[in-house]
Structure 1
């Protein structure tokens, strides 16, 4: 039953990525045509923004499909980290694009471009409708999947850009306040940078195999009181993706049969799974070896 539900969710996520990709390509085509016909540099810039987002969505979808592959002798942990790589690339691209648009917006304060406000509004409304539909499709899974969240943030940035273009277009049409165009761009990009920065930090943390948010001292205290455990050391923890935490440790046990040690193994695994949500544990049993060594192997530190 659980496998069926997982498969259904996977199929739905694939359909979402495909639908969002098509919608974003349509937006891009509409904005390029609208930008050329209206002579609006703002619309053309947003069109290239959308084109970049389309490529990012395609990358995210490919990574999603790759992540579904099973484990094998070449990838013993499977391909889940493909989505982390895609999320990192998408987030970095969005940071770079935001910086570029901020520079362009500052430039436009000094050299404003004439705009066809009517056509600008029509194209922006079409873009907003498509972007809102795409954002709603991805919103649910974005809270638990970094790849989908990075893609969602791309779409969100487009939607906010469309809102900004609409507001600026109305005011430009009424009062000829052309300075609103770069001002709205600055505000939107500042918000996007704020939202995307946590994605960058978390993906870098996972790719660098940094320690997840675990209390090693508490874990050691819980393990060392298990009957038969004389001590524990050489702790290592890392993540394959944003959900799967890997953990390895050495435990000093009383001299006993291997079948008796397996009972302690099961107790340690159950403790780490139920209390700390650690799903994969590797344990090396020792009697006296390493008794004087610490929780972290100092010799392995760089």
Structure 2
């Protein structure tokens, strides 16, 4: 995990670099007449906005839990990841329609200017993406921002290739075609993040085999039955669960030991960081009956 100071420095560096790229591509696109450069400039502008949102979400997400927000503020990063991804999809739709319009109404493009602007933009975008890559594996928010920047890098490659064909063969239709391909790629990369963030926000169950969980818990000798198991995510790294277990009529001190065993199993095998356990005797138990030692002795004396 990145330290907060390292993360802040990365976001600041990437934001500054992205503002410079946006201005550079916009001027280059206007001078060359390249739709893909102008579109990428707007894309970079949206990246800058997304990076600022990501930074704020990271700051909010690291705030300590309070009585009113007992699970903390980690969901701020999930909300931002969702917003970033939706922005990406909207941008991809804008680029798609603009590309189709440019195919129908072609305009002259200066391939040489387009080429050199795209080269410099590619280097800058790739550098910005690499700055965030290290923290993108365990953080959906940073992953969404990283994908923003990576898609810019790929867009620049497309623009470079297009500029070469335009300069040597005057194939101006390549410029909007590249724009359309990049827009489809952006949407393809963004939709899974939207799906995952929706599942987290809707309290959807993480990818856990409930039957395996029950089997593992039933392997603890004192547990007679397991039911009402529910799991959900605070963010992509923090899993929560609640479960009901049927136990013998034990003293509270013995029950707490079993709770510890349950927590250890769920933490070690399923990475569940917090679990709420409800112990029951017969409630919810389908077959077995739970009797205290005194009740069992009474039954034996009464011939039951």
Normalised by the length of structure 2, the TM-score is 0.90
Which residues of 2 match residues 125-164 of structure 1 at below 5 A? Answer: 125-164=119-158
Give yes or no for contact 1:41–1:113 (8 Å, CA) kept in 2.
no
Match of 2:81 in 1: 87
1:217 to 211, 218, 231: 211
- Report deviation, 1:132: 0.9
- Do structure 1's residue 185 and structure 2's residue 156 form an aligned pair? no
Greater radius of gyration (CA): 2
- Report deviation, 1:42: 3.4
Give yes or no for contact 1:165–1:181 (8 Å, CA) kept in 2.
yes
1:266 to 248, 260, 280: 260
1:108 to 89, 102, 117: 102
- The whole-number CA distance in structure 1 between the counterparts of 2:37 and 2:235 is 37
- Do structure 1's residue 13 and structure 2's residue 7 form an aligned pair? yes
**Deviates most, 190-199 or 272-281:** 190-199
Give yes or no for contact 2:249–2:281 (8 Å, CA) kept in 1.
yes
Match of 1:203 in 2: 197
- Do structure 1's residue 257 and structure 2's residue 257 form an aligned pair? no
2:283 to 260, 273, 289: 289
Match of 1:29 in 2: 23
- The whole-number CA distance in structure 1 between the counterparts of 2:195 and 2:31 is 41
Match of 1:238 in 2: 232
Over the aligned positions, Cα root-mean-square deviation in angstroms equals 1.6
Secondary structure of 1:31's match?
Answer: helix
Normalised by the length of structure 1, the TM-score is 0.90
Q: Identify unmatched segments of 5+ residues in structure 1.
A: 1-5, 294-302
Secondary structure of 2:279's match?
Answer: strand
Q: Identify unmatched segments of 5+ residues in structure 2.
A: 288-304
- Do structure 1's residue 61 and structure 2's residue 83 form an aligned pair? no
Secondary structure of 1:142's match?
Answer: coil
Match of 1:170 in 2: 164
- The whole-number CA distance in structure 1 between the counterparts of 2:219 and 2:151 is 51
Match of 1:227 in 2: 221
- Residues 121-153 of structure 1: CA distance to partner in whole angstroms, max 9, x if unpaired? 222122111101101111122122111110011
Corresponding pairs, count: 287
